Structure formats: structure tokens, C-alpha cells
Amino acid sequence: MGGKLWQGRFREGTSKLVENFTASIRFDQRLYRYDIEGSMAHCKMLSQQGLLSGEEEDILIQGLGEILREIERGTFVFDEAQEDVHMAIEQRLIEKVGEVGGKLHTGRSRNDQVALDIRLFLRDEIQGVDEDIKGLQSSLLAQAKANLGAVMPGFTHLQHAQPVLFSHHLMAYYEMLRRDRQRLSACLDRVDVSPLGSAALAGTSLPIDSKATAELLAFPAMSRNSIDAVSDRDFIIEFTSAAALIMMHLSRMCEELILWCSTEFDYIELSEGFCTGSSIMPQKKNPDVPELVRGKSGRVYGHLMSLLTVMKGLPLAYNRDLQEDKEPLFDTVDTVRQSLRILARLWENVKVNKERMEKMASRGYTLATDLAEYLVIKGMGFRQAHRAVGKMVGYCLEKGKELEEMTIQEFKGFASLISDDIYEILELKHSVDSRNSVGGTSLQQVREAIGLAEEELS
């Protein structure tokens, strides 16, 4: 096969060095399915418009179908000299069907073609990421249900704050992931737009029907400006930004998983299948999976920064810089999907050490706020109550005891309003259940949250 498809005006061949430097085929071959799908729709439209005969349409579509099968069977040879997936497929088509293959690119440019391919790819992947998020949400939900009632210390500043239900804590992650799904769905609106018909940058004089191709490819919308359509990569940046947020959420979750399975916390146990050992310390069982997810958030943030930087200062319309969009995008998709999937499986295999969590839940005077609120109900102003309980905590620290270990006389020494009913207030379950404000940690609120989540996921 001699020369490149764009060889016409050149008298010299491309330097090997340049060929290697400019080719994207190593990574953009991943788009082959979308490229062929787009080309088939384009052929149908060309034929409807009389730009191809019915017979030519059949030949091209059949040829494209065969190429698809060659690629899937692994017999297609992607060659760097072909530059990118678009030219490789077109060149193969011409090789297979002869000169009529040269009609495929009528009324089209690689500039609108590549924009189309990424949009088709990303549309699918966004749905995939959404499914993966749902998978992780389901695992969290299953743990929240299985451990409903288990109490743990809630933290602020990583210091014991107030007791909460373990399930309530897990459902916080459910909510974070729910927002991630909303962001993806909003991003999909901007991805799901057909750029076909924009050609190189200015549209085409040929009587094409862009609406028809958009419909064939099930796009609900079409680009409104051809210059914008071939130079816009906002939708990739939006997706990567949503992905960076997902990774940030996963990284926070992983940090807690890592803390919780440490000897110091001992709240959970990761199954052996999800841990790795040490090459020197025989006793080690390390949480490498959450550590790696936490680490991988870095590369996704990096991709977001790369993409913004590639786009910054680019003049309209298409510039070859835009080819640099693919590797960050592909790696973002792979990283975020892999991370979501492995965490869903990991959570299925987490053993929760309820006794330990419950034992720790009352440590550090976590019921002090309950005591202050008790005084408020009995008529004391909140600030005064806060001060009085602060004094009680100071006293207990000095005496080395817990609040509930104080005698009623001791209590009365700090606030005469306190009576025998205080001991019930200072029980963990009571404390948790009393926080029944909307979105609070009471059993009732958490049950409702779980019910709502189950509905959302079904």
C-alpha cells in the first residue's frame, strides 16, 4: 500500500521519527468500534442523500463490517504509518473494496470524526461508570443493613465527637456517590451531542444531512457551530473533573478503611483475599487495595490538570494538540472504573468488629453533648449547660472516671437540675436514637435513608 491518504501534495515521504512522534494509533485504536459505527451511519446518510448509490452503500457497509470482525478476531494489523485509527480503517476499506472505498470520507473530516468517536466512547463509558458506582453503593448498602444498630464513635478532627450508627457513617459515602452519579448524568447531556457535519471546521458544501446521522447514532442533540464542534473538549474535562471528585471520595473512604483495620482502631477486618503480605515481615497483612486506590486518585487529578493545560490558549479551531486528550481520558476511565469495582468487592468482604467499635464509642466523653442537651431540656441556657458539663468532664478526667460513673450527688454538685433520669441519657443507644433530626443518626432516620437508597438503586 503506497503513501498516506493525505499524500497528494507531498513530494517527500514522512520521516520515521515524525511518523512515530505524531501517530496516535497505539492508543486510539481503542476507538475502532465507534469509528466504524460512525462511518456506517455516515454511509447510510450519504446514500439517502444520493452521494452514494445503494450498491456503493452496501459495499462500504459490508466492508466496514468485515473490518470490525478482523479487528475483533485480532487479524487486523494496526500500523504506525497509518497515523491513527481513522486512517487505518479507511485505508483498509480501500484495500478491500477498491476505489469506491475512497467515497467514505465524503463530506467529513477527521476533525469531526474524532470528536464523534470520543463522544460515542464516552457516552458508553459514562453509563459504565454509573453502573460501577451503583455497584459500590449496593455493597455499602448491604453492609449498612447487615450492621444496622452497631454504634461507633463519630469523629471531628479525628477526635471522638459523638456516637453514631456505623450504618449512618456508611450512608454518608452513599450520598457522596449519589452526587457523583448526578454529576455524570449532567455531564452526559453535554457529551451526547453530534458534531458530524462540521467537517474540518466550516461545514461542507456537499448536500449532507447531519440530522439524519445524529438520529442514526441516537444523539438527542446536534452541535450548533462547526468551529466550536471540532475544537470543543469541554465534555472530556467535565467528565475528568467528575472522575476526580469520585476518586477524591474513594480516597477518603480508603483512608478510613486503612485506619479502621489498623491495630489501633481494629474496627474492621479485611479479608485475606484483599490484602497482601510483606517480603520481610512474616506477620504483615497490608491493606494495599485501599492504599492503591488512594494513590491512584493522584493520577486522575493529574489527568484533569493535563487536559486543562492542553486546552489553555488553543486558538480555534482544530489543532493537533487535541490528540493529547485521549490518553488522559482513557486512563481516567480505566482508573475510576477499576477502583469502583474493586472497592465494591472489598466491601462485600469486610468483617465489622461491632464490640470494639461500641466499646470505643463512649470513650472520650462522647456523651457530653447529650448531658448538655439534657440540661437544656430541664431549662438551663445552652451556654451555661456547656460550661457546667465542661466542668464535669474536667472533674472526671481528674478522677479518672467516665461521666456515667459519677454519683447523683456528684452530678448535683455541678447542676442541681440533674436527677436520676440522667443515667438513661448516658447510654449509647439512647444517645444515638435521640438524634432524630432529619438526616440524623437515629435508627429511624438511618432506616429511612436505607429504604430510600434501596428504592434509588432498584
List active site positions. 157, 278
- Give 81 or 142: the residue with its C-beta nearer to ligand ARG: 81
d(CA 6, CA 330): 27
- Give 84 or 90: the residue with its C-beta nearer to ligand ARG: 84
Minimum distance from CB of 14 to ligand ARG (Å)? Answer: 13
Minimum distance from CB of 139 to ligand ARG (Å)? Answer: 37
Minimum distance from CB of 314 to ligand ARG (Å)? Answer: 12
The site for ligand ARG (CB under 6 A) is made up of: 24, 28, 84, 110-111, 114, 318, 320, 322-323
Cell of 85: 485509527
Longest dimension (CA), the chain: 102
- Residue 247: CB atoms within 10 A of its CB come to 27
Cell of 156: 471531628
- Determine the residue type at 159: Q
Query: Is residue 108 classed exposed, middle or buried when 0-12, 13-18 and 19+ CB atoms within 10 A define those classes?
Result: buried
- Specify the 3-state DSSP secondary structure of 66: helix
> DSSP label at 315?
P
Minimum distance from CB of 189 to ligand ARG (Å)? Answer: 23
Q: What is the 3-state secondary structure (H, E, C) of 319-341?
A: CHHHHHHHHHHHHHHHHHHHHHH
| HSE-CB for 14 with a 13 A CA cutoff | 20
- Give 324 or 427: the residue with its C-beta nearer to ligand ARG: 324
Alpha-carbon dihedral of residues 222, 226, 232, 235, nearest 10 degrees? 0
Minimum distance from CB of 322 to ligand ARG (Å)? Answer: 5
Beta strands 193-194 and 151-156 are unpaired
- Give 323 or 332: the residue with its C-beta nearer to ligand ARG: 323
Residue 70 CB partners (closer than 8 Å, separation 6+): 76, 92
Minimum distance from CB of 116 to ligand ARG (Å)? Answer: 11
CA neighbor of 199 nearest in space, from 65, 287, 90, 317: 317
Query: Is residue 122 classed exposed, middle or buried when 0-12, 13-18 and 19+ CB atoms within 10 A define those classes?
Result: buried
- Give 67 or 453: the residue with its C-beta nearer to ligand ARG: 67
- Give 110 or 294: the residue with its C-beta nearer to ligand ARG: 110
